[in-house]
Amino acid sequence: MTKEQLECLRQISETADLLSRQLGNLVLLFHANSSEPSSNGDQTETSGFYTQAYQNDVEKTIENKVYPPMYFGAPSGNGFEDSSQLPSSSVKCLYVIQKKSETQACYYPIPEKLSRFKMNPNSLFNIVCIPVGDISEASSIEFTEDDYGELFYENGYWKVIKKCTVFCN
C-alpha cells in the first residue's frame, strides 16, 4: 500500500471511532431522556450528565476534524491559490497541504519531486521553503512534522506564515 492509502485508512479508522463514540453517547442520551423520572430527581441529573458528555464529544469532534490532504503544484507568490488544487494522482503535484481548520493548514514538499525542485529551485522551492544545505546538490530531502510550513487561508489563497524547513542531503 502507498503512504497515501495508509493515511487514508488511518483517517477512516479515526472517523469511524469518533462516529462510534458519538452514536454510543446518543443512545445513552435517548435512554436517559426516555426513562421515567424518579421521585428524588435523579433523572434530571443523569440526563444533564449525558447531555454534557454528548456536547463535549461533539465539540471535541469538531475541534479534531480530520481533513483529507490537498495537493498543489507550483506555489503562486508567497503561497498557494486554492483554485490550483490538483488531484493526488497528478504528476504536477509538488506540495501536500494538510488543513487543521478552515483557515489554518500545514504543508510540506513531496520528497519524490526533488528533481523538479532542483531544476527550478527559485520559483518552485525557495519561495515557500527554507533549505538547509544546497538543494541543487541534494540527493534527497528530509523534514519532520516540526519542520512543516504553516499557512493561513483567506479569499481563495493559502498564504505562507511560516516557511517549511527542508534538510537537503
pLDDT tens per residue across all 169 residues of the chain: 777 776 666 677 666 655 656 666 565 555 556 554 544 544 445 455 555 655 655 555 556 689 999 999 999 999 999 999 999 999 999 999 999 999 999 999 999 999 999 999 999 999 999 999 999 999 999 999 999 999 999 999 999 999 999 999 9
CA angle at 65 for the pair 69 and 12, rounded to the nearest 5°: 65
Q: Can you give the C-alpha Rg of the chain in angstroms? A: 23
Instruction: Please give the Cα distance from 113 to 118 (Å, whole number).
Output: 9
Those residues with Cβ within 8 angstroms of residue 149's Cβ, 6 or more apart along the chain or in another chain = 106, 107, 108, 128, 129, 160, 162, 163, 164, 165
Taking the model in full, what pTM does it have? 0.64
Instruction: Please give the Cα distance from 66 to 61 (Å, whole number).
Output: 9
